[in-house]
Amino acid sequence: MSTTHCPYCALQCAMHLEPGPDGNLRARPAPFPTNRGGLCRKGWTAPDLLTHPDRLTTPLIRHNGHLEPATWEQALDTAAHHLDHLRRTHGPDANAVYGSGSLTNEKAYLLGKFARLALGTSQIDYNGRFCMSSAAAATNHAFGLDRGLPFPLTDIATAQVVLLAGANPAETMPPMMGHLAAPTLIVIDPRRTPTAQQALDHGGLHLAPRPGTDLPLALGLLHAARTAGHLDHTYIEQRTTGFRTTWAQAAAHWPERTEEITGVPAHHIRAAADLLGHAARNRSAYILTGRGSEQHATGTATAGAWIDLALALGLPGRTGSGYGCITGQGNGQGGREHGQKADQLPGYRHITDPDARTHIAHLWNTTPHDLPGPGRSATELLAALGTPHGPRSLFVMGSNPAVSAPDTTLIKKRLAALDHLIVCDFVLSETAQQAHVVLPTAQWAEEEGTMTNLEGRLLRRTRAQNPPPGVRTDLQVLSDLAPRLGADPHHFPHDADTVLAELARASAGGRADYSGIDPHHLTAGHPQYWPAPRPTTTEPDPDRVPSTPRMFLDTFAHPDGRARFSTPTHHGPAETTDTHYPLWATTGRLLGHYQSGAQTRRIRELATTDPEATVQIHPDTAAHHGLTHGARAHLTSRRGTMTARVHTTPTARHDTVFVPFHYAHDQAANTLTQHALDPTSRMPEFKVSAVRITPAPDPATEGRP
Ligand SMILES: Nc1nc2c(c(=O)[nH]1)N[C@H]1C(S)=C(S)[C@@H](COP(=O)(O)OP(=O)(O)OC[C@H]3O[C@@H](n4cnc5c(=O)[nH]c(N)nc54)[C@H](O)[C@@H]3O)O[C@H]1N2
Ligand SMILES: Nc1nc2c(c(=O)[nH]1)N[C@H]1C(S)=C(S)[C@@H](COP(=O)(O)OP(=O)(O)OC[C@H]3O[C@@H](n4cnc5c(=O)[nH]c(N)nc54)[C@H](O)[C@@H]3O)O[C@H]1N2
Ligand code: SF4
Ligand SMILES: [Mo]
């Protein structure tokens, strides 16, 4: 039996893996603080993909329009030949790299090094840009440092009140609900989600704003909290700066005015402010945000407005209260720290910082001058592919942008315009289907490495079995490819421990400092949360590993030690509804599927429960558009059309429909979305599109009398 963590989300539930009667691995929950012995349906079924018939076990090369089996030598040589040719002909930025928050810390680090050192390109970014980047930008502004939860998750279990803005953990991290059983919940979500229902069932509140109006709602709550006398003026005075600029905005958001903008009744705003305010006075309240608040073209300002509310109530940087962003992907936290982001070097360092460049250049045996500068952000990178000034090749590891990027009709065209597309994956994802070279790589249970969970806690991923014959690890692929591009093989080891040791040195002195991490302690029940700087004493105590479970207790990470309020200004969504597109569409997740669905749509148990895209809509709105429960509908935005099965939901807002983004082709929600980008985080507007809904032909019933 081996013990590891689930491959999917950032909760990183611990699990035991052991062979069942048929010899295939089975998962069962292992005790661990975040999941407390629970797993969701996706975790239980995760091993099914290890032996799935769709599993890729040989590299593929495109010949005459078809992907055909090839040897590793052929595939690696072909990929390297094209990358080298493009680099020589068009310069290093002709090659681009696209990474993922699913990759282990070691892979994320080596991928960034591969881009900047082996390819010499500035063109690298990753799917985390679509995930928590707005909250990260807002947290960096407010606290001077971004760690999703700056406290252990178990802390929230003892709080009196937890406000969840745009997060639906009952479906996206079910075992987390164990920590939310005792607190009274205030859920901010346009939909009556299972999380919102739990709030209502246990004396809490559900506020259902129109999508894209969290920012004025947060200001309205601040206004109501101040009127009721809940603000912590001593904390504001002693630990923060800039309250006046925030208040200049909030002053104009009295509850009745906020109701007009958001649709949330004024008395609910006052009730929520009171509930939260009383708990805050007892220093027993948390504000947590998820993608619902963050995935907007105004995502950074919106996350900033929630942080402002937390600061005004005196929550961050104190035991028993706080603000946190619920990170999403398995290694969404570590993945954003070690240099696969366009503007970043390992250790959460900024790529334009001369000291950071010198530190990394020294470690990589190159010069600061030869390290590339910042590149394009994910959406901008994808939209530039194959254009006259954009990259001509893309190397993808751990993402399926043909389904998950905004405006996928455009993105698929851009992928098709590439001279060369290389995809490392375990299945033929929709993106891999467009590739010139596909490299089959190992899955979670077949590799070693570390992950950093939503609390900033380091975890060890352990190998339970070897990869199937013909499959290599992602680290091995980078290690095989880099020397073919002229890089020194010593710089690209494929052993996870060696890479972690180098990552630790690279991160030393950086904002996300891993230099004191002891990978062998990670299994021994010693929690290690970054920052974990290497001890300076000569005789380190083996029983005391460096670790920071709770951040900001004494001081925030800005030079003056104070947290900063922001200037949240409401601009509203990037597009408006009109007579042609009269409804708001928002997008998100279902319990049974993960992300682009490349993995979970292949798992029979999950595919049977949620076999096709659905659209959640109020029955009256459906009727108004000639639709009933179970009918098929077309949803059309200014970008494109998708098809979904109508799921009438009496608790839905009349003006808003919801579609999950886990499906491909004509069921892909991202045919509706647009790449209006947040000015700071470059987050696209996933959560608000103007659409119309019309009846669609139904192949299941067509031809019947
Ligand atoms: N089952 C499942 N679990 C997952 C994942 C998955 O794909 N499937 N993915 C993982 C990842 S990477 C992530 S990032 C997390 C995401 O976890 P969550 O943030 O919980 O997930 P979402 O469903 O994207 O969005 C949450 C809620 O935001 C609401 N919402 C939409 N628009 C707005 C708005 O304008 N304001 C507010 N306040 N709410 C709004 C939606 O109705 C939705 O219920 O989940 C992780 N866990
Ligand atoms: N409309 C809409 N769109 C969204 C969102 C939304 O809420 N609404 N959410 C956004 C968010 S938060 C996210 S995080 C993105 C995620 O979207 P994607 O980046 O597309 O994420 P996945 O579907 O997890 O894609 C992972 C792919 O890589 C493979 N893979 C997984 N792990 C590994 C690995 O370790 N190595 C290799 N080589 N391959 C691996 C999987 O088989 C799969 O094909 O989607 C974003 N898109
Ligand atoms: S909650 Fe997340 S980590 Fe836990 S079992 Fe489900 S998908 Fe896996
Ligand atoms: Mo995400």
Which atom of ligand 3 lies at the shortest distance from residue 15's CA?
5
pLDDT of residue 331: 97
For residues 261 and 251, what is the distance between their CA atoms, to the nearest angstrom?
15
Residues 227 and 87 in one domain: no
Residue 43 lies in a domain: yes
Which atom of ligand 3 lies at the shortest distance from residue 594's CA?
7
Which atom of ligand 2 lies at the shortest distance from residue 669's CA?
1
**What type of residue is 116?**
R
Residues 42 and 155 in one domain: no
For residue 98, which of 382, 332, 481, 475 has the smallest C-alpha distance?
382
Cα of 595 to ligand 2 centre, how many Å? 5
**What type of residue is 553?**
L
- Residue ending a domain, among 289, 311, 326, is 326
Residues 341 and 360 in one domain: yes
> Is the pLDDT higher at 540 or at 243?
243
Residues 282 and 345 in one domain: no
Residues 308 and 402 in one domain: no
Lowest mean pLDDT across 263-272, 280-289, 694-703: 694-703
Residues 632 and 512 in one domain: no
Residues 317 and 425 in one domain: no
Residue 282 lies in a domain: yes
pLDDT of residue 541: 67
Q: Is 121 in the pocket of ligand 2 (CB under 6 A)?
A: no
Q: Is 400 in the pocket of ligand 2 (CB under 6 A)?
A: yes
**What DSSP character marks residue 457?**
B
pLDDT of residue 701 exceeding 90: no
Helix then strand then coil, in percent of the chain rounded to 5, is 35, 20, 45
pLDDT of residue 519: 80
The overall pTM is greater than 0.85: yes
Q: Give me the count of residues in the chain.
A: 705
Q: What is the pLDDT of residues 625-675, one digit of tens each?
A: 999 999 999 999 999 999 999 999 999 999 999 999 999 999 999 999 999
Q: For 170-198, what is the mean pLDDT?
A: 98
pLDDT of residue 703: 59
Residues 509 and 632 in one domain: no
Residue with CA closest to ligand 1 atom 42? 191
- Give, for ligand 1, the residue of 189, 215, 258, 336 to mutate: max count of ligand atoms closer than 8 Å to Cβ: 189
pLDDT of residue 308: 98
Q: For 224-247, what is the mean pLDDT?
A: 98
28: domain range?
2-51
Q: For 439-453, what is the mean pLDDT?
A: 97
Cα of 9 to ligand 3 centre, how many Å? 5
Cα of 19 to ligand 2 centre, how many Å? 28
Residue 565 lies in a domain: no
Residues 460 and 478 in one domain: yes
Cα of 611 to ligand 1 centre, how many Å? 20
Q: What is the pLDDT of residues 25-57, one digit of tens each?
A: 999 999 999 998 899 999 999 999 999 999 999
Residues 150 and 123 in one domain: no
Ligand nearest to the CA of 293: 1
Q: For 267-273, what is the mean pLDDT?
A: 98
Mean pLDDT, the chain, integer:
96
Which atom of ligand 1 lies at the shortest distance from residue 172's CA?
3
pLDDT of residue 700: 73
pLDDT of residue 520: 79
- Residue ending a domain, among 296, 311, 326, is 326
Residue with CA closest to ligand 3 atom 6? 40
For residues 42 and 610, what is the distance between their CA atoms, to the nearest angstrom?
12
The count of structural domains within the chain is 4
Residues 186 and 171 in one domain: yes
Q: Is 165 in the pocket of ligand 1 (CB under 6 A)?
A: yes
Residue 1 contacts by C-beta under 8 Å, 6 or more apart in sequence?
Answer: 16, 17, 18
pLDDT of residue 525: 72
pLDDT of residue 524: 67
- Residue ending a domain, among 305, 326, 347, is 326
pLDDT of residue 538: 63
Q: What is the pLDDT of residues 348-403, one digit of tens each?
A: 999 999 999 999 999 999 999 999 999 999 999 999 999 999 999 999 999 999 99
For residues 344 and 374, what is the distance between their CA atoms, to the nearest angstrom?
7
pLDDT band at 505 (very low <50, low <70, confident <90, very high): very high
